[in-house]
A and B are shown apart, each in its own frame.
Chain A
Amino acid sequence: MSELVYTLIEFCSVAKVDEQRVTEFVEHGILEPQLRQDQWIFPSEALSRCQRAERMRQDLQLDLHGVALALELTERNQKLRQRIDYLEQLIDRLRH
C-alpha cells in the first residue's frame, strides 16, 4: 500500500484531474514524478498533493505560481506546527 506508484494515466484517473492539468502541475514543480523508461511515475503521496493543488486552484482562484507557493507554505507551516507540538511536549516531560 505504501509503495504504490502510478503512471500518468492511472494517476489522473485516481486523482480525478485531467492530464493537461497534471502536466501543468509538473511544469510548475507542484508534482515531481520520477522518470522511468521515458514515462512519468507518481508516488502515491503525490495524490493528495495533486488534489489539494486542484482544490486551491479552483476555490481560491489561484494561478499555478500561487498554488505552488501556497502549497509550499502550508506544508512548511504544518511541519513547523508539528515540531512545536513535539518540543512543547518534550519540555513538559522534562519539567515534570
Chain B
Amino acid sequence: MDFKDYYKILDLPPSATQEEVKRTYKKLARKYHPDVSEEADATAKFQAVSEAYEVLKNKDKRAEYDELREYVNNPNQFQNAGAGHGRFNSDASAESGLDDLLRSIFGDQGGFSGGAQGFNGQRGGTFNVRGQDIRYDLGITLEEAYAGGKRSLRLTTPGGDKTINVTIPKGVTQGKELRLKGQGELGHGEGPAGDIYLKISFLKHPLFEVDENDITLVLPVSPWEAALGESVEVQTLGGKVNLKIPADSQNGKRLRLKGRGLGSGDQFVILKLVNPPIETDADKAAFEALKDKFNFKPLDGMARPV
C-alpha cells in the first residue's frame, strides 16, 4: 500500500477545517462522479477523492493520518523520539510498519460504493454473497448493429480469460447495455455469480453517421445530376438500393430512405454538389456558357447589413 497525500488529492492545506474538507469533497465528488462526469479518468479520480474523504472526515482517523503523514515526510524526527512514544514500531522496517499502520487506519477497502457490496467486516462462519458484476465496452460496426447476430468475445476477467458468446440484438443503438446473466465473478458460499454488462458503442463507419437510430449518408453529385434529376445507386446498411434524385435539387437537399436505419430508424441522404475540375479552355467555355444563359447571382438574394 502506497502512502497517498490525501490533502493533495483534495487540494487542501493540512490546516483545513472539517467543514472545508466536507465542502471540498462534495464539490469534487460532483465533478468526478462517474455517472455525472465527462472527465476522461473520472472513475479513478472519484475513487481517490472518496478514499481521501473516508479518512479525513473522521476526526480520529484524520489525527492518525496526520501523524502518519508527518512521519512519512520527516522520518528522522521520529527515529530520535524513541520507541516509547508513538504507535510506530521502530524495530519493524519502515515499509512494513507503514503498511500495517495504513491497514489499521483504513482497512483493506477502497472508498468507492459504486455497485460494490462489501462483506461489512463479517469474517468466519458461512456467508453467501453474490459475485461482482463486470462491465465492458463493446465496440461494434454499424452493419452488426443493423443485422444483429452472434459474436464470440474473448474477455479478460479477474478470474482469468474466458470466451463468451454474445447475441447482438437487431437494431441495437449506441449506449445500450447487454446483460449476460451469471457470467460475472463467482459468488461466495451459496451466492450466485454476478453478471457481465456489455455497453454498446459504434465504431466509426467510413460512410455513415449515426443519430440515435437514424443514419445519414452524404452523397456527392454533379451539378447536372442535381439539376436534371437522376436515379442513382446508394449504399445502405442492408446493401445497395436505387434512389431517385429529383430534378432541380439544391446542394444540401435531404432525402429519406424509410426504414433503412437501425431498428425503426431511417436512412437520410444529403446531397453534396461537386463541381467538375476546370482543366481545359473547353471546360471553362462550358461554364461561361452557363453563366451567359442564367445571369444568376445568388448573392443578390442574401440579406445584407444596411
Contact = CB atoms under 8 A, between A and B. Distances in A.
Interface string A24-46: 00000000000000000000110
A56 B210 contact: no
Contact of A90 (B46, B130, B216): B216
A44 B180 CA distance: 12
Given A86-B211, A90-B270, A56 B117 contact: no
A89 B216 CA distance: 10
A16 interface: yes
A64 to B, nearest CB: 15
A93 B218 contact: yes
A59 B112 CA distance: 8
A76 B140 CA distance: 24
Interface stretch (B27-35, B68-76, B296-304): B27-35
Nearest to B22: A61
Interface residues of B, number: 35
A55 B117 contact: no
A20 interface: no
A55 B114 contact: yes
B50 interface: yes
Interface string B4-34: 0000000000000000000000100110011
A14 B133 CA distance: 10
Given A47-B179, A82-B174, A60 B30 contact: yes
Nearest to A89: B209
A60 B30 CA distance: 7
A23 interface: no
A60 B218 contact: no
A90 B219 CA distance: 11
A59 B179 contact: no
Nearest to B168: A1
Q: When A and B form their complex, which 9 residue pairs have the shortest distance between CB atoms, in order from nearest?
A: A2-B169, A93-B218, A86-B211, A52-B35, A89-B209, A55-B114, A58-B113, A48-B177, A74-B36
27 contacts: A1-B178, A1-B179, A2-B176, A4-B179, A16-B130, A44-B179, A47-B179, A48-B177, A48-B197, A55-B113, A59-B29, A59-B33, A59-B114, A60-B30, A61-B26, A74-B35, A77-B38, A81-B38, A82-B211, A90-B209, A90-B270, A93-B209, A93-B218, A93-B272, A94-B252, A94-B270, A94-B272
Interface of A: 1-2, 4, 14, 16, 44-45, 47-48, 51-52, 55-56, 58-61, 70, 74, 77-78, 81-83, 86, 89-90, 93-94
Interface of B: 26, 29-30, 33-36, 38, 46, 50, 113-115, 117, 130, 167, 169, 172, 174-179, 195, 197, 209-212, 216, 218, 252, 270, 272
